[in-house]
A and B are shown apart, each in its own frame.
Chain A
């Protein structure tokens, strides 16, 4: 970057994992960064997610691209954010004859995606995890892990803040400043309301990043553009007691209620999938909760009689056509939209899709687009840059 120039100012809307990771990436590249979030950090989808550090195995058969991305990012996160994960590995368990028939394809697909997978016999699986359904047929070990859904992303905010980013929670983006020029429209700032003091003000920006996940469409509308982001909620059920040490997945094509993530003194069962238009009001359907107990107890029978700690829904930000009925067929790979292309709105970029495991990669891709647009020539440094502990955010 030309040192004589004043660093361009990027305003990020959205204080979830991707917003935090984009802020971290951009300040490391020498940009001036302000992030606004209407509520507390990680109060949208990020904090509510399952807390799974993906090995990629869940996508190995159907979505090789996602699988490869997951295992790469899994390795990077273990390196840059040590002590954010339980590092308990995962076990995919085949319960039915059909599951067992699926095992060779699953195992080979893991290896083909460079996910270190190990075949585990029925006897060994039961020795490793005595609470598993004794009817299981075989299992595969992969490097899944348990993450703290809030504290891991918070490390990106902590590090970004220490490196000079301005992080403003409880500050809601209410309008975009749009300048009409002969070449088209350009976003030049964000009007916000600070809910801690009621103050309204405008933040000028050389570029605005929309990192609001399932709220992406609502925020894009402020800039007069459309993004095909579909909020797709899923149910999660936390029961009291740790019934497993490892993350337990059903070895089959991904379906409902097929994963149990142990965390602290809880076991979290997930998930299901439907689509909605309003990410603010997510239902917790009784039949989906029941399905989590039914499917979860197929892997770990003790779940059937476990005491419920909490039931909630989290909305995935899926990219794709509207009108899909279940959300499962939409791509899980993230996308970065430069709204200058196609819609002719300059200075406005949307990042959406993806998952917590790939937040750093999403941020890298977004920061590459942002830097290119702003004429900043500075390489991404986040692959090797160790993150501060989450506690540093409150220093």
Chain B
């Protein structure tokens, strides 16, 4: 570290704070007979996150530990983990806030394990890609704001960060891997609400299935786990309401609108 920075207190420090925390970290390498937990001790500061601690373990204690991470502000969705049995984004989960002497860290559930804390996102995207929703949404977040020349409509990224925490938390996905699941159903609602070139009727049809929106038991665990205010359970209810209305219309109105 350069002299220029020595005088500045590192709010995310992982050594030299005199405040050690124990981490029980899930370990598994392909070919192992069974997974196990390894214990590490990491000193933490007031802002040190679970991700900072795990990176510190990788860099200072065990270079073979692997985990997914990228943006450090819960926008990329890669560092979703189960910490003390809760689905969280490791990068915005402060160790101090957990208030536990031992922090248990495991990969997210209901997805194929690669090794250690890494899961394969192929299952997640197989569901998600079926919907075909665009990453970009049209929205005027500031209704009072004007638009400059050259910007026809403000567009912004969808809130869903594709982290898979909702799939991990969902009790139905755990028992029925064919269930479309909360992330894809929430994406379906967004495509129905704002089609962006998709055919909303085709998307609705995908959700109108025993493995689609009707499979949800409304446990709302997904909305609890969602780090990005997507509220998948709420969106699933909206999809159902729309499907129910369409069914009624097809019975009484004779024709889809």
Q: Which A residues fall within an 8 A CB radius of B?
A: 39-43, 46-48, 51, 83-84, 86-89, 91, 116, 118, 120, 124, 127-131, 141, 143, 146, 148-151, 170, 172, 193, 195-198, 236, 238, 242, 244-246, 262-266, 268, 274-278, 280-281, 283-289, 309-312, 314, 325-326, 389-391, 394-395
Q: Is the CB of A395 within 8 A of B122?
A: yes
Selected contact of B125 from candidates A149, A325, A391, CB within 8 Å:
A391
* Between-chain CB contacts (< 8 Å), 30 pairs: A40-B69, A43-B70, A47-B78, A51-B75, A83-B134, A84-B135, A86-B136, A87-B155, A116-B150, A118-B149, A120-B148, A130-B142, A146-B157, A149-B71, A150-B70, A196-B114, A242-B156, A263-B156, A266-B73, A268-B73, A276-B1, A280-B55, A283-B8, A309-B73, A309-B74, A309-B92, A310-B91, A325-B4, A326-B4, A394-B121
Asked if residues B129 and A274 are in contact (CB atoms below 8 Å), the reply is no
CB distance from A268 to the nearest CB of B (A): 7
Selected from B121, B135, B161, the residue in CB contact (under 8 A) with A389 is B135
In the complex, the answer to whether B122 meets A148 with C-beta atoms within 8 Å is no
Partner of B4, one of A41, A245, A275: A275
- Establish whether residues B76 and A245, one from each chain, have CB atoms under 8 Å apart when the complex forms: no
- Given contacts A40-B67, A150-B70, 20 further A-B pairs with CB under 8 A are A86-B156, A87-B155, A128-B146, A130-B144, A151-B135, A195-B116, A196-B114, A197-B30, A197-B115, A238-B75, A242-B142, A262-B156, A264-B75, A276-B1, A285-B10, A286-B8, A309-B73, A310-B72, A312-B72, A326-B4
Given contacts A40-B70, A310-B74, A310-B91, contact A284 B147 (CB under 8 A): no
Taking a contact as CB atoms under 8 Å apart, the answer to whether B4 and A196 are in contact is no
Inter-chain contact A394/B122, CB cutoff 8 Å: yes
Q: A83-B134, A265-B228, A284-B47 are in contact. Are A195 and B150 (CB under 8 A)?
A: no
Asked if residues B121 and A266 are in contact (CB atoms below 8 Å), the reply is no
Q: Is A275 touching B2 in the complex (CB atoms < 8 A)?
A: yes
Do most interface residues of chain B lie in helix, strand or loop, or is the interface mixed?
loop
Contacting residues, chain A, for B12 (C-beta < 8 A): 283-284, 311-312
Q: Is B118 an interface residue (CB 8 A)?
A: yes
Q: Are B73's CB and A238's CB within 8 A? A: yes
CB-based contact B136/A83 at 8 Å: yes
For residue B133, give the distance in angstroms from its CB to the closest CB of chain A.
Answer: 10
Contact across chains for B47 and A311 when beta carbons are under 8 A apart? yes
Instruction: Scan residues 55-88 of chain B and give those whose CB is less than 8 A from a CB of chain A.
Output: 55-56, 59, 63-76, 78
Given contacts A130-B142, A284-B11, contact A150 B76 (CB under 8 A): yes
Say yes or no for B205: interface residue by CB 8 A criterion.
Answer: no
Decide if B122 touches A280 in the complex (CB within 8 Å).
Answer: no
Give the distance to chain A from B8, nearest Cβ to Cβ, in Å: 3
As a 0/1 sequence over residues 7 to 23 of chain B, the CB contacts with chain A under 8 angstroms (1 = contact) are 01111111000000000
B contact residues around A263 at 8 Å (CB): 75, 156-157
* Interface assignment of B31: CB less than 8 Å from any CB of chain A: yes
The distance from the CB of B11 to the nearest CB of chain A, in whole angstroms, is 5
Q: Which of B145-193 contact A (CB under 8 A)?
A: 145-151, 154-159, 161
Contact A131 B142 (CB under 8 A): yes
Q: Give residues 125-140 of B contacting A (CB, 8 Å).
A: 125, 128-129, 134-136, 140
Q: Do B29 and A198 touch (CB < 8 A)?
A: yes
Contact B115 A246 (CB under 8 A): no
Chain A residues in 8 Å Cβ range of B145: 127-130, 245
B59, A280: Cβ atoms under 8 Å?
A: yes
Bound-state CA distance A267–B166 (Å) is: 24
Closest 10 A-B residue pairs measured CB to CB?
A: A47-B70, A285-B8, A312-B72, A310-B73, A283-B10, A394-B125, A197-B30, A196-B115, A150-B76, A238-B73
Measured between beta carbons, the chain B residues less than 8 angstroms from A268 are 73
B142/A149 in contact, CB under 8 A: no
